[in-house]
Each structure stands twice: as structure tokens, then as C-alpha cells.
Amino acid sequence: MKRLFLLLFITVITLAACSEDTEQTTEADQVTPVETGEVTEGNLAMTRTFYGRTMPNQTIPVIPSVPGEVTELNVTNGDTVEEGDTLATIQSQQGNINIEAPAAGTVTQLSANENSIVSNQEPFAAIIDLEQLTVQLQVPDVQLDLFQEGEQVVLHMKSAEEETHEATIEYVSRTAGESGLFPIDLSFDNAATQYNAGVIATVELEEVVVENATLIPTSALVETNDETFVYTIEDNQAKKVEVTVQATQSEVTAVEAELASGTQLITSGHLTLSDGSEIEIIGEE
């Protein structure tokens, strides 16, 4: 009988010890490792990208003074000419007439050949100015104030992604086109770069969308069906704080919330947390 009682006593003690070890292990398993980020204050700015294409600064049609037959053609499309250069000679009722370049530039839209007939009602060719290029952007009304005539912007050229060029805002339209967007004309010196007309160009500008905002790491946000919140840290526990998002970027979000600048927010490991969960900050020295 004493032996049986002793065996029962040992069994109870063993089970109790095992139970205590299990509870300690469970408690340890409930401590969630997390990473943190800091609340700051300031303006939230977003990068706006606008697209356009290079165009000749001017296009001057070349129209013969009289109709006639081309007897001598001195240029082809793409040739560079100076003002007054003879482009062609035509035979007309008034004799031989020279067709001269009305301005310096590049010959384009030339369709005539020697012995072909040209009219004085249609352009013989066109002279375009490629030394000064224009880029026209299309801008919505809400972003029109980002552009001021006379200011400089930076152009990114798609044909040479590593190159940027300064352009001057020449014209800001106050009337929308058929698309509902407002044309903005930029110009830049192309004498050295020699881009062709039709190259895609982009302009990137910073727009302040929220001033004097409470800024948090976007990764700290937790969104459910009916609420948006973050977790702060208090006595090694996660504390849930509801926020209202004003504007968001990939890295930073502006919110309305009772969060002081410098407050640490949980940015990683928070998806399995609840209010009051035990946490351990990792990644700290």
C-alpha cells in the first residue's frame, strides 16, 4: 500500500512539472518578434510625371510663287539649309524660277522630283527648326499650378534615359483642349543634343499633397474591413491606435491620429498581433 501511494505521488509531481514547463513554453511562444519605425511630422509630397513629345520650334511651309516643272532639285528630306539657299529651280510661264529656303533649318515633307509639276497652292516642302525644340505636355486642372511661365523644369528623354535637359516653360494654357487637359509648352536648346522630332519626353515634379502632416511608415498600417490602425509599443506590449489615412505613398503615409512625433510603431510582425500582445523588438543594438 505504501508503495502504491509513493508511485501515485511521484506521478502527480511529474505531471505537475510537465504542466508547468508547458505553460512556460506557451507563454514564451506568445512573445512576437517585431520591427519598428518612427512617427514624424512634415509635408507629404508626391512625384507627378507628365508626358509629351518633341516638336520643331517652328515649321515653315515652302510654297512656290508660281506653278511649274521642276528642272533642278538641289535638296532631299533631312538636308540642312540656310535662309536663301536654292532648293530647286522650276520652269514656268514666267521663265526659270528659283525656290529658296525661307529660313534656316531642316528640309522635310519634300515630295517633288525632277520633272514633276509643282503648284503654287500646295507646299513644295517645309523647313523645320530642330535647334530649338518644343515639348507639349497635357496637364489636368488640379496640377496646373505646378507650372509657371518662365520657370525651368528638367526633361527626361526616352531615347537617352541617362540624359536630362533643362527646359523653359514658355506657355501655360488657361483653356482646356478637347481631352479636358491643359496644354503646357516647354522649349529647350537642341543645337548640341540634336534630338529628332517625335521623341517621348517626361517631366517629373514634386507636388505637396498634405501639409504639416503626421507621417508614418506605410508598412505600419493594418487594414481590416471596417477599420485602419497601427500598433504602438507600451511596456513591451502592442497597443492598437486607430488612424485615418489622408494620402499614401509606397514608403510614407500621412494620417490623422493621436500619435506624437518620435513614437515607435510596429512595422513588421504586426499582422498576427492583437491589442495587448506581448512583443520583442528585434534589429536593435
Give the model's pLDDT for residue 181: 94
Percent of the chain with pLDDT over 90: 73
Beta strands in 125-177 (DSSP E): 125-128, 132-139, 152-157, 164-172
The whole domain housing 112 covers 61-128
Cell matching residue 135: 515639348
Mean pLDDT score of the chain: 87
CA distance 218 to 231: 12
Instruction: Report residue 157's pLDDT band, with 50, 70 and 90 as the boundaries.
Output: confident
Q: Are residues 112 and 179 located together in one domain of the fold?
A: no
Instruction: Report residue 29's pLDDT band, with 50, 70 and 90 as the boundaries.
Output: low
Q: Are residues 200 and 69 located together in one domain of the fold?
A: no
pLDDT in tens, 231-250: 999 999 999 999 999 999 88
Percent of the chain with pLDDT over 70: 87
Q: Are residues 201 and 74 located together in one domain of the fold?
A: no
Number of domains in the chain: 2
CA distances 235 to 55, 157, 269, Å, are 64, 54, 17
pLDDT above 70 (res 33) = yes
Q: Is residue 108 assigned to a domain?
A: yes
φ/ψ of residue 156, rounded to 5: -110, 120
* Final residue in a domain of this structure, among 166, 184, 210: 210
DSSP state of 20: H
Q: Is residue 13 assigned to a domain?
A: no
Q: Are residues 119 and 170 located together in one domain of the fold?
A: no
Q: Is residue 30 assigned to a domain?
A: no
Q: Is residue 199 assigned to a domain?
A: yes
pLDDT in tens, 158-217: 765 667 889 999 999 999 999 999 999 999 998 888 888 888 999 999 999 999 999 999
Q: Is residue 230 assigned to a domain?
A: no
Q: Are residues 145 and 121 located together in one domain of the fold?
A: no
* Final residue in a domain of this structure, among 128, 151, 172: 128
Q: Are residues 67 and 122 located together in one domain of the fold?
A: yes
pLDDT in tens, 158-173: 765 667 889 999 999 9
Give the model's pLDDT for residue 7: 44
Q: Are residues 199 and 91 located together in one domain of the fold?
A: no
> Which CATH number goes with the domain that contains 71?
2.40.50.100
Q: Is residue 259 assigned to a domain?
A: no
Q: Are residues 52 and 176 located together in one domain of the fold?
A: yes
Stretch 115-131: mean pLDDT: 93
Q: Are residues 51 and 184 located together in one domain of the fold?
A: yes
Q: Is residue 35 assigned to a domain?
A: no
* Final residue in a domain of this structure, among 166, 187, 210: 210
pTM: 0.65
Stretch 72-101: mean pLDDT: 95
> Which CATH number goes with the domain that contains 175?
2.40.30.170
Q: Are residues 148 and 173 located together in one domain of the fold?
A: yes
Q: Are residues 152 and 114 located together in one domain of the fold?
A: no
Q: Is residue 114 assigned to a domain?
A: yes
φ/ψ of residue 120, rounded to 5: -95, 15
Q: Are residues 65 and 167 located together in one domain of the fold?
A: no
